């Protein structure tokens, strides 16, 4: 007796052609001058995720984050009223980075250079020899940065007057994101790695499933199946400048015995928290964050550009509540180690892609229809870069 495999029909190339069909120029993926334009046009003007509210759970909590693409270090605090605030981590006296640790609990910050002291609301509280200056101390607050929170994620915007609030920027995705386990998270696991590759190449690796069967033959075995060998998603959504997709669940997945045991533990905890295992929504938040809303691996990856050819990935699995049993601790460790295994299989090929493009051998690259999210990212980036270049030209013409 033979069984007929019901073929999965991915979203058709005709239905996705509106995002574009042309080859994509390669220079934006490796040239330093293009990266400098991205820095100004995108990273200094967009909402960028810097952390999660669970990192600053109470008044006095603070975190410090490096943000190389914005040429900035950010100090993010929770003040005595519970309000989240963000500042440039720079003393207004002579610019020295005020806080040298990653985070902690402190309601005031003293500059190591000359002892100027600030509250976690950014006010100057004390400056030695203040009467010898020619300034009004109230003019010497820490430089404030716009900050917003959605689904627990803390975003900052270096634009002095952001064109949109965070909620306007995220638009219809706000309601979707707020439903995710991340929004209720109280703790997280985190691993990081750097690649010698452009940030868009790094991001693109996580925006298409075309590569899974080649790069993840073992760890990604369950991602594809007879119905859908490449594991293509069931849906794409475009919410300019953001993207989304619904991850396909393989009905024929056959986890190995120990894997099945570990996943079973994780599944039980996810269901106890009220999440459905079949919900697997992916949100690509422009420019450099993606969030996987899977109940068992509530995951985010922040892709931090360091230079045109260097990128740091910060991967987190967000959890609701501390480990309250050995089984939960084991299931979370297994989930983290599983995600990490998949990431390390991607790393080398991302770097190989950068080397190939940076050689200048190719003028263009090609995205198939199921790599449409990569194309959408490029479109959104280049639109902003071209608008910024026009802005510079107009500025030059009017001067």
Partner 1 sequence: MSLENMRLPTGFDALEPFVDRWAIKGANNRLQQRLNSQESERASFFNIGKDLVPPALELLDQKPLHELDEKEQRLMDLVLSLAHISLAVEIQRDHEPAHAESARHITINRATSDKDTNLCN
Q: Is 58 in the site for partner 1 (CB under 8 A)?
A: no
Give CA–CA dist 124/88, Å, rounded. 14
Q: Is 325 in the site for partner 1 (CB under 8 A)?
A: yes
Q: Is 265 in the site for partner 1 (CB under 8 A)?
A: yes
Give CA–CA dist 269/277, Å, rounded. 11
Q: Is 257 in the site for partner 1 (CB under 8 A)?
A: yes
Of these, 329, 355, 366, 389, which contacts partner 1 (CB under 8 A)? 329
Q: What are phi and psi for residue 45, nearest 5 degrees?
A: -130, -5
Nearer to partner 1, 64 or 381 (CB): 64
- Contact window for partner 1 (CB under 8 A) among 88-96, 160-168, 245-253, 332-340: 332-340
DSSP track, 69-91 = GGTEEEEEEE-TTS-EEEEES--
Token pair of 119 as six digits: 């509250």
Token pair of 205 as six digits: 């690796």
Nearer to partner 1, 265 or 354 (CB): 265
Give CA–CA dist 213/230, Å, rounded. 6
Give CA–CA dist 65/82, Å, rounded. 20
End-to-end, the C-alpha distance of the chain in Å comes to 80
Least distance between partner 1 and beta carbon 102 (Å): 7
Of these, 57, 217, 229, 274, which contacts partner 1 (CB under 8 A)? 217
Q: Is 234 in the site for partner 1 (CB under 8 A)?
A: no
Least distance between partner 1 and beta carbon 108 (Å): 22
Give CA–CA dist 274/271, Å, rounded. 5
Distances in whole angstroms, Cα of residue 321 to Cα of each of 105, 215, 263, 332: 20, 34, 19, 12
CB 79 within 8 A of CB 91: no
Of these, 322, 361, 397, 399, which contacts partner 1 (CB under 8 A)? 322
Give CA–CA dist 154/185, Å, rounded. 13
Of these, 344, 387, 390, 392, which contacts partner 1 (CB under 8 A)? 344
Residues 141-200 that bind partner 1 (CB under 8 A): 187-194
Nearer to partner 1, 264 or 274 (CB): 264
- Contact window for partner 1 (CB under 8 A) among 16-24, 116-124, 253-261, 299-307: 253-261
Least distance between partner 1 and beta carbon 188 (Å): 7
DSSP track, 226-242 = TTBTT---SEEEEETTE
Nearer to partner 1, 68 or 345 (CB): 345
Least distance between partner 1 and beta carbon 242 (Å): 27
CB 377 within 8 A of CB 203: yes
Of these, 17, 307, 348, 352, which contacts partner 1 (CB under 8 A)? 348
Nearer to partner 1, 126 or 256 (CB): 256
CB 251 within 8 A of CB 174: no
- Contact window for partner 1 (CB under 8 A) among 67-75, 172-180, 197-205, 334-342: 334-342
Give CA–CA dist 377/358, Å, rounded. 19
Size of the site for partner 1 (CB under 8 A): 42
Q: Is 341 in the site for partner 1 (CB under 8 A)?
A: yes
- Contact window for partner 1 (CB under 8 A) among 10-18, 120-128, 167-175, 260-268: 260-268
Of these, 159, 323, 356, 379, which contacts partner 1 (CB under 8 A)? 323
Give CA–CA dist 15/228, Å, rounded. 18
Q: Where along the sequence are the contacts to partner 1 (CB under 8 A)?
A: 102-103, 187-194, 217-219, 256-259, 261-262, 265, 319, 322-327, 329-330, 332-334, 336-338, 340-341, 343-345, 347-348
């Amino acid at each position: 007796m033979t069984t007929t495999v019901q073929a999965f029909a991915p979203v058709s190339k005709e239905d996705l052609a509106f995002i574009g069909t042309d080859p994509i120029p390669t220079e934006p993926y490796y040239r330093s001058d293009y990266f400098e334009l991205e820095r100004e046009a995108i990273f200094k003007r967009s909402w960028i995720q810097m952390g999660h509210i669970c990192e600053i759970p109470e008044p006095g909590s603070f975190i410090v984050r490096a943000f190389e693409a914005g040429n900035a270090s950010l100090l993010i605090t929770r003040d005595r009223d519970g309000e989240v605030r963000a500042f440039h981590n720079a003393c207004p006296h002579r610019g020295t980075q005020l806080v040298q640790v990653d985070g902690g609990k402190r309601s005031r910050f003293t500059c190591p250079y000359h002892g100027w002291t600030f509250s976690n609301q950014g006010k100057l509280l004390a400056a030695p020899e203040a009467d010898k200056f020619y300034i009004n101390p109230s003019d010497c607050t820490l430089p404030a940065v716009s900050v917003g929170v959605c689904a627990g994620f803390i975003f900052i915007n270096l634009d002095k007057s952001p064109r949109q609030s965070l909620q306007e920027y995220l638009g219809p995705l706000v309601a979707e994101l707020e439903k995710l386990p991340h929004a209720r998270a109280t703790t997280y696991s985190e691993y990081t790695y750097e690649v010698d590759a452009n940030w868009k190449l790094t991001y693109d690796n996580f925006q298409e499933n075309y590569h899974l069967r080649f790069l993840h033959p073992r760890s990604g075995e369950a991602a594809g199946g007879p119905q859908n060998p490449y594991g293509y998603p069931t849906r794409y959504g475009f919410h300019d400048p953001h993207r989304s997709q619904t991850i396909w669940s393989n009905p024929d997945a056959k986890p190995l015995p120990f894997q099945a045991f570990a996943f079973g533990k994780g599944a039980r905890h996810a269901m106890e928290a009220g999440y459905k295992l079949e919900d697997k929504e992916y949100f690509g938040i422009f420019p450099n964050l993606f969030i996987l809303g899977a109940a068992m691996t509530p995951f985010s990856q922040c892709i931090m550009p360091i230079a045109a050819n260097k990128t740091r990935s910060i991967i987190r699995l967000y959890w609701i509540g501390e480990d309250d049993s050995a089984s939960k601790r084991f299931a979370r460790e297994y989930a983290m180690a599983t995600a990490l295994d998949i990431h390390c299989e991607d790393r080398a090929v991302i770097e190989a892609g950068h080397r190939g493009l940076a050689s200048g051998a190719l003028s263009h690259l090609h995205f198939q229809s199921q790599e449409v999210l990569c194309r959408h990212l490029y479109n959104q980036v280049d639109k902003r870069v071209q608008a910024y270049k026009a802005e510079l030209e107009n500025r030059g013409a009017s001067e």
